Amino acid sequence: MSLTGRSVTVRVPATSANLGPGFDTLGLALSVYDEVTVTVRQEPGAFVEIQGVGESVVATDASNLVVRALAHTFEAMGQSVPGVDLVAHNVIPHGRGLGSSGAAVVAGIVAAQGLLEGIVDIDTDTLLRLATELEGHPDNVAPALFGGLTIAWVEEAGPQHKKLLVHRGVSPLILVPQHTLSTKVARSLQPASVPHEDAVFNVSRSALLIAALTQSPELLFAGTEDRLHQSYRASAMPETDRLVTLLRSHGHAAVVSGAGPSVLVLADGPGQRLEAAELVARESKSPWESMLLAVDVKGASVHTSLRDA
């Protein structure tokens, strides 16, 4: 079957990983989306057009991360990689701890899944495995693929996930700074070992956070306490550390979003979320963009169409 003329449009949500104590394990899908349209053409290679975030910065050839993820999927499924035209409408901020690279990986893999529909069946386990191979760890790609709150782990059979529904009272607020931070730099500050009591502390808070997010939002403040990674990375993002400290001193469940430097506040209702946003606008010494979001419950979606070859 020729794929020439087949086109898919993929929509992928932003994500926030860690959520405080759930380091490299917990992730949350958020209602900010990148949208990618991929059309198969007769000529080999890739032509990429970027609109929005990353325009004039993101690669527009075969080295583009979405294109590489698509090619990786075709090759893994034993299929020849086609030539493609790709148009990306990017909204997810880059380098801010909101899963932009994970979203690009997921976009490419899900686009390949859509293009290969009727030729090769790619199940959810395979989607997660391919995404993890490219991203390195599953905590961002799992919620981007499946939506909601995800617990991700790796065992001998490969990466696994469990999706949970978030309590309707949970109201996320993302605070985005103007500066970026490399995930590699943030990870380099992580020690090889931590005190036993800190490990036990985070185990208890991670368990509590699951209960808070799914059943008891009033426990979000206690459930987002962390001793495993945020304090070690604070020196690389002092403004983020100051903002988290400010918000938590006023009773708001604030954490570093992913590797940072954005801040995630998990409010237990719209009123508390608005209070947090107003506090930041009033007392922060540096500018932060406030994004009042919902939890995305669907994850990545794909629409397939057939154009004239």
Question: 104: annotated binding-site residue?
Answer: no
Strands 158-164 and 149-155: antiparallel
257 is in an annotated binding site: no
> Is residue 80 annotated as involved in ligand binding?
no
Distance (Å, whole) CA 56 – CA 53: 9
Burial of residue 233 (number of CB atoms within 10 Å: 0-12, 13-18, 19+): buried
The sign one gets for the Cα dihedral 49, 52, 57, 59 is negative
Phi, psi of 44 (to 5 degrees): -70, 170
* Among 138, 151, 51, CA closest to 99: 138
Closest CA to 94 of 85, 82, 103: 103
Q: Across the strands, what pairs with 292?
A: 173
- The rounded distance, in Å, linking the Cα atoms of 237 and 224 is 19
101 is in an annotated binding site: yes
C-alpha pair distances (Å), 153 with each of 16, 100, 129, 134: 16, 21, 11, 16
Among 255, 252, 170, CA closest to 215: 170
267 labelled binding-site residue: no
Residue 120 contacts residue 77 (beta carbons within 8 Å): yes
Question: 128 among the known binding-site residues?
Answer: no
Question: Is 100 marked within a binding site?
Answer: yes
Report whether 251 belongs to an annotated binding site. no
Q: Determine if residue 97 is labeled as part of a ligand binding site.
A: yes
Q: Structure tokens of 185?
A: 């730099």
Residue ranges for the known binding site are 93-103
Residue ranges for the known binding site for ATP are 93-103
